[in-house]
Structure 1
Amino acid sequence: MDNYRFIISGGGTGGHIYPAIAIANELKARYPGAVFLFVGAKDRMEMEKVPRAGYDIEGLWISGIQRKLSLKNLLFPLKLISSLWKARGIVRRFRPDVVVGTGGFASGPLLRVASSRGIPCVLQEQNSYPGITNKLLAKKARKICVAYDGLERFFPADKIVKTGNPVRQDLLDISGKREEAMRFFGLDPQRKVLLVLGGSLGARAINTLTHGHLAFFDSLGIQLLWQCGTLYYEEFKGYASNTVHIHPFINEMALAYAAADMVISRAGAGSVSELSIVGKPVIFVPSPLVAEDHQTKNAQAVANADAAILIREKDLDRDFEKEFSTLAGSEDRQRQLGENIRKLALPDATSDIVDEIERYLKRQD
């Protein structure tokens, strides 16, 4: 039997959406006759990204509670009731065999309804510090797939399985692609490459840091492959040169990682997982503005294993030049960090998560 029916719910950020799509793709590869429905939040990026990946999606009128008093907070009870009502209709109509939640506010109402009807629900938690939605859903979930140790503080220990986070398959082997990557991006093969990442939209602090240190990087003989983000491209594109290669967004991430000798990056769960797979020495500059400060916790978990350097935004002026000079000047340190972060990689994450889902399918057959 391969005509199973799956609902996959999650979104709000790429960190929730791309794992959801990766899980769906693996399920589809194993069960070509399966039917899929994604459920996300209206007006969020999943409503665009999921159809582009070839899947149907329905949106719920739901959003998170803001940290400050706002109209959105006053509307939250109404949104929650509306979303629960619509989720009931979706579950009743679609009749899923299994529901998968990857985090984000939309997954809350959907998985709450599905679990109350006895439908097996599997959670995938990307971060070292779980979001509020997954923490609330944990008691009803059958299994919780995590990427970090120590999540027993938040979830029932008997439900946890450490799988890692799904990553794009083309990152699993970038060895031997450096020459191709250097040609593709027009980089100088005689210079070290620093890859700068701030997410698809960009990161103000990382862009300001990079711009303010262009002469510093040049003095060290380093060229930049700089993804400044779509929000900041117009502001920074004028600083491009033979040694500063600026892009609003890099689609060919496998080649970007293949070219990189060192990386500066945010510490979202997806970025941490990808950098672990490719084994590059990295300086994490986590965003302090995300829920529960989870990026700092992600980066700290890696830094504690001597597998990355963590510099908080507030400490960049004080620490960056010293930390980067030490790293850039030591091949041994670069190699050590790359080897240590690679030890944290879980390259079979997508397959392992789907193995867990399959266990519930077999129980129903």
Structure 2
Amino acid sequence: MRVIISGGGTGGHIYPGIAIADALKKAFEEINQNIEILFVGAEGKMEMEKVPKAGYRVIGLPIRGLQRSFSPKNILENLKFPVRLFGSLNQARNVIKEFKPDVVVGTGGYASGAVLQVATTMSIPTLIQEQNGHAGLTNKILSRQVDAICVAYPNMESYFPKQKIQFTGNPVRSDLKNLPHAVQSDFDYFNLMKGKKTILVMGGSGGAKVINEAILNGLETILENDFQLIWQTGKFYIDAIKKQLAQKNLLNHPHLFVNDFIYDIKKAYQCADTVVGRAGALTISELTLVEKPAILIPSPNVAEDHQTKNAMALAKEDAAMLIKDNEANERLIPTLIYVLNDENQQEKLKNNIKTFARPDAAKDIARRVMELGKLYPTIF
């Protein structure tokens, strides 16, 4: 069987694709059959680095998204969009003709729409994996043409044809299931101490300015309360933050680990007593699986404000704390102190968030892919 998985631009589109690929690979190993998987992403985007690290081949298309702000640079980029789109559609057609996939899966991002569009015109079975509770315009348009749609949230009939929908949840890495308790070696990875209450802060691979500012402004308070911190700043903020930490004589503090990216997120989750982050679909899905108390600060700079909707789905069930982006500087540190000092609140958040978990999402999507490829698995 041959499968193309297309998506990227952000981790929220890349890692679900990798999780689906891993589930397919495992399924075919168990039935002693071969599968070949090819990723198609966008040139210069993070999938061109992350996918090969996961062990898969990736091809980049010259596609770029439309820029929403109207700076002279962005206006010029938008004028190039039709040419890039035409080139990407043409290249996608060539890739599909050469690879001859049995099924094409789209996980969102710049390249996904082009590849799915071409695949549907070539009568190749197609599947959309929609991560959010609010579908984007591209997926809504493509939903009329694709064969199957796997969704992360119930009640998506207002966006997609009901007969095509399968509620699977979002696929996440299999090693986050049944997360063991942290041991000293896990804390050693971050040069921190076992036994201290630990905060994990994540703002995505690029970083979140508001979250970083709130943590930086409240760092002395965090440390004075005898908490320790694992802090992923994002690549755009690490240099400035390290400079400010050095000015405060905190850069080498024994209760602080700071880096642009956390390469072993499993260890970070194991060590964390509570997690601060945005409310992207991937973050939400991971948090439901690792069962950690979470303080979510949705990004306002996303289509249709879908992160707020993601976070509200948890907050209304007391499964996470929700802080608005413009209130983070005022409310984040007091909320952290409250959660970390209240064992009952921690237990309530943990018990409620795990009810949202869909641990077999990747396996369920892999099963649907195999069915579309006319391979009806008996191993699931």
**One fold, TM greater than 0.5?**
yes
- Coordinate RMSD, CA, aligned: 1.9
Match of 2:123 among 111, 114, 118: 118
Aligned to 1:161: 166
C-alpha separation between the residues in 2 aligned to 1:90 and 1:276? 37
Classify the secondary structure of the residue corresponding to 1:139: coil
C-alpha separation between the residues in 1 aligned to 2:261 and 2:141? 34
Aligned to 1:309: 321
Classify the secondary structure of the residue corresponding to 1:174: coil
> 2:3 matched to 1:10?
no
Aligned to 1:353: 365
Letter matched to residue 65 of structure 1: L
C-alpha separation between the residues in 1 aligned to 2:18 and 2:66? 26
Higher relative contact order (CA 8 A, sep 6+): 2
| Matched pairs, number | 362
Distance change in 2, residues 1:142/1:257 (3 Å) = same
Letter matched to residue 80 of structure 2: L
8 Å CA contact 1:11–1:41 kept in 2: the answer is yes
After TM superposition, the score normalised by the length of structure 2 is 0.90
Aligned to 1:260: 272
After TM superposition, the score normalised by the length of structure 1 is 0.93
Aligned to 2:47: 46
> 2:142 matched to 1:130?
no
- Structure 1 gaps, min length 5: none
> 2:187 matched to 1:187?
no
C-alpha separation between the residues in 1 aligned to 2:342 and 2:298? 24
Classify the secondary structure of the residue corresponding to 1:234: helix
Question: What displacement does 1:221 show?
Answer: 2.5
For residues 1-365 of structure 1, what are the structure 2 equivalents within 5 Å? Answer: 4-31=1-28, 32-69=33-70, 70-237=75-242, 238=246, 239-240=250-251, 241-362=253-374
8 Å CA contact 1:174–1:255 kept in 2: the answer is no
C-alpha separation between the residues in 2 aligned to 1:73 and 1:233? 30
Question: What displacement does 1:364 show?
Answer: 9.3
Classify the secondary structure of the residue corresponding to 1:40: strand
Classify the secondary structure of the residue corresponding to 2:80: helix
Return structure 1 stretches of 4+ with deviation > 6 angstroms.
Answer: none
8 Å CA contact 1:107–1:133 kept in 2: the answer is no
Question: What displacement does 1:9 show?
Answer: 0.8
Cα distance per residue 1:166-206 (max 9 Å; x no partner): 21222112223344423332323342111111122322111
Report the more deviating stretch, 173-182 or 59-68: 173-182
C-alpha separation between the residues in 1 aligned to 2:173 and 2:291? 15
Letter matched to residue 319 of structure 2: A
Identity %: 46
Question: What displacement does 1:245 show?
Answer: 2.1
8 Å CA contact 1:178–1:255 kept in 2: the answer is no
Report the more deviating stretch, 318-327 or 74-83: 318-327
C-alpha separation between the residues in 2 aligned to 1:228 and 1:316? 16
C-alpha separation between the residues in 2 aligned to 1:117 and 1:234? 48
Cα distance per residue 1:323-348 (max 9 Å; x no partner): 33332331101110011111101111
C-alpha separation between the residues in 1 aligned to 2:195 and 2:66? 50
Distance change in 2, residues 1:75/1:288 (3 Å) = same
Report the more deviating stretch, 211-220 or 252-261: 211-220
- Structure 2 gaps, min length 5: none
Question: What displacement does 1:322 show?
Answer: 4.1
Classify the secondary structure of the residue corresponding to 2:179: coil
C-alpha separation between the residues in 1 aligned to 2:234 and 2:300? 18
